[in-house]
Each structure stands twice: as C-alpha cells, then as structure tokens.
C-alpha cells in the first residue's frame, strides 16, 4: 500500500488510513517445510504468539547476511587473489574457485532481485500500525524485470518476526501479491524464506547461524529449476562448503558443482565442464594434490577433507 508523502515531525511518512496486511501463522507454508531439514517450523514457533507486545520493528541494516540474502562464496573467491593462476601448480584451485563462482552466479540470477529489494528496504520509512505490526514500501524491480511497489510487512510474535514482501503494479498484474515471506528469530540465529511465483513456492530456504559459522540450504520444488538444491556451509574454523545439485532431465543424474575448503585451506572442487566432473584437489599450500579415496561432501553435512577421485590436474 503506497505511503503518503506527508511528513510527521519526527520525519516519518504518515501511515495509511487502512492498515497493511499483518503476517500471521496462517501465511506460513508448512507444506514445504520437509524439503529442507535444517529446522522444523512447528518446533521453532512453539513459543511464538501472534499480537505479542514488547517488540520493535526488525532493523534490516543489522540483520544477518543469510536473512538479507547476502549469500556468496567470497571467501573461496579470494583464495587465488595473491597467486599466479597461470602456473599449472594451482590448476586444481582454479577449478575450485570456478566451481564456487558458478554456484554464486546461478544463485544470484535466481534471487538477485529479492536481495536488492531487502537492501533497498533499509531506507524505507517503517511505520507502526499496531504495537506488534510495522510496514514500509519502496519501488523496486522484481525477478521478472517489472517495476513494482514492494511492501515490507513485519509482525512481532514474541520469539522473532514474521516477515513478508508483497508486490503491486499499476496494471493490476500484482495486487499485494506475496512475493516472499518467512521468519527471523529474535537473536538472528535461524529462520526461513519462501519465494513465490504464480501462487506457488518456487524456492524455499532455511538456515542456522550466519556467514562465518552457519549453514543455509535452498530447494526449488517448482519452476524452471525444479528439484535443484544448493548448500552453503561456513565452519567456525574457517572451512566452507558450496554445492549445487543441478537437476537434469531423466534418466540423467543431477550435475554437481562443488567447492570445499578446509580450515588449513586445502580443499577440492568439482565442475561439470572440467574433466568429466572429476574432482580436483589441492593441499594447504593451495598446490595440486592427489585426491584421496574416502570421505565425501554430502551437502548439509561435510565429512572429511577429500572426496573420491584420483585426478591431479
């Protein structure tokens, strides 16, 4: 709902006479909860209660990177910055960096508009409509390249916020239509987002922690990327796993793009376009190493430091 331009003495925009939608438990899509196993939405909301007093609007400028959709493998991208990557001794690392970059690019193409929207909303005037409900609006470009009025609504439920972004266009294509919604725990420690297209959930994601010590998993149950899955995992010891399972038409198996870095900076990478998807490994000096047979990366859990394979680029 468009906010009026009249300014209050405190510099906020005047709230609309008709309050915006209040996110509630009935708006949570519990049906997609099972696609990602990081958290259980029913358990997370066990102590939550609608219309809870004592809350304040969520400050997007201090929200976690994962909630803000600032999800990248920059830590891996930086590994080869000081190196002469034309030297063949670093060719395995080059594969890993390229694999991580490919996952980042695929994700950015899919959720870039939503990421930009949350960034833009940091400058929106947020108005209070109830003691537990706040809303603000901004003009943004959605993921179809359409200019829309995005309305950010949030409701305090005692343990955190239910959050939603609705979109509206003048031609009526969108009229306060849910674009994405989710939950953000008060301590920033966990949450989820569901992204909608044509009334259904196109992508669902859940997370624990944040960059530096946390994990996020994303799954696409419908749309052009149906059955795709992505993982980002940061260990407190500096380790990082980035993985994309890119579904293919049956009977083909999914293509795996993966980069894993351990605490000592040794690691491995898998890129479908490289050597028939053979895994390339490097040691703590970032130089090529023979991949040992044994431990593997499994997506939501990383075990060991190497994966099955024997190729040394």
**Arithmetic mean of pLDDT, 87-99:** 97
pLDDT for the residue numbered 125: 96
Confidence of residue 274 (pLDDT cuts 50, 70, 90): confident
**Arithmetic mean of pLDDT, 59-84:** 97
Separation CA 294–CA 307 (nearest Å) = 6
Percent of the chain with pLDDT over 90: 85
pLDDT for the residue numbered 19: 78
Separation CA 56–CA 133 (nearest Å) = 9
**Arithmetic mean of pLDDT, 73-99:** 96
Q: Give the single-character DSSP code of 227.
A: T
Nearest C-alpha neighbor of 187 from the set 161, 155, 163, 206: 161
pTM of the entire structure?
A: 0.87
**Arithmetic mean of pLDDT, 228-251:** 97
pLDDT for the residue numbered 275: 84
**Arithmetic mean of pLDDT, 134-151:** 97
**Arithmetic mean of pLDDT, 121-147:** 97
Nearest C-alpha neighbor of 191 from the set 208, 210, 168: 208
* Residue 107 C-beta-side C-alpha neighbours within 13 Å: 28
Q: Is the peptide bond before 285 cis (omega within 30 degrees of 0)?
A: no
pLDDT for the residue numbered 293: 65
**Arithmetic mean of pLDDT, 99-125:** 97
Confidence of residue 18 (pLDDT cuts 50, 70, 90): low
């Amino acid at each position: 709902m468009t906010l009026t331009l009249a300014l209050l003495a405190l510099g906020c925009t005047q709230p609309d006479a008709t309050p915006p939608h209040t996110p509630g438990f009935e708006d949570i899509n519990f049906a997609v909860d099972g696609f990602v196993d990081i958290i259980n939405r029913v358990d997370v909301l066990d102590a939550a209660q609608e219309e809870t007093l004592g809350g304040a609007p969520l400050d997007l400028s201090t929200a976690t990177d994962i909630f803000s959709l600032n999800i990248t493998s920059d830590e891996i991208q930086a590994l080869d910055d000081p190196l002469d990557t034309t030297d063949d001794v670093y060719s395995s690392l080059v594969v890993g960096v390229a694999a991580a970059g490919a996952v980042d690019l695929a994700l950015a193409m899919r959720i870039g508009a939503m990421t930009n929207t949350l960034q833009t909303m940091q400058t929106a005037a947020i108005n209070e409509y109830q003691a537990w409900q706040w809303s603000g609006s901004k003009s943004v470009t959605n993921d179809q390249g359409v200019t829309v009025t995005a309305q950010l609504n949030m409701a305090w439920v005692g343990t955190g916020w239910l959050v939603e972004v609705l979109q509206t266009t003048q031609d009526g294509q969108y009229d306060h239509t849910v674009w994405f919604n989710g939950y953000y725990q008060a301590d920033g420690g966990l949450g989820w987002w569901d992204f909608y297209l044509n009334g259904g959930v196109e992508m669902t994601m859940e997370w624990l922690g944040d960059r530096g010590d946390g994990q996020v998993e994303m799954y696409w149950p419908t749309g052009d990327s149906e059955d795709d899955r992505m993982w980002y995992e940061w260990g407190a010891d500096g380790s990082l796993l980035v993985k994309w399972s890119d579904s293919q038409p049956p009977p083909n198996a999914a293509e795996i793009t993966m980069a894993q870095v351990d605490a000592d900076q040794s690691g491995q990478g898998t890129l479908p376009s490289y050597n028939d998807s053979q895994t390339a490994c490097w040691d703590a000096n970032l130089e090529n190493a023979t991949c040992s047979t044994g431990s593997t990366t499994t997506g939501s859990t990383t075990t060991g430091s190497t994966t099955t394979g024997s190729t040394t680029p």
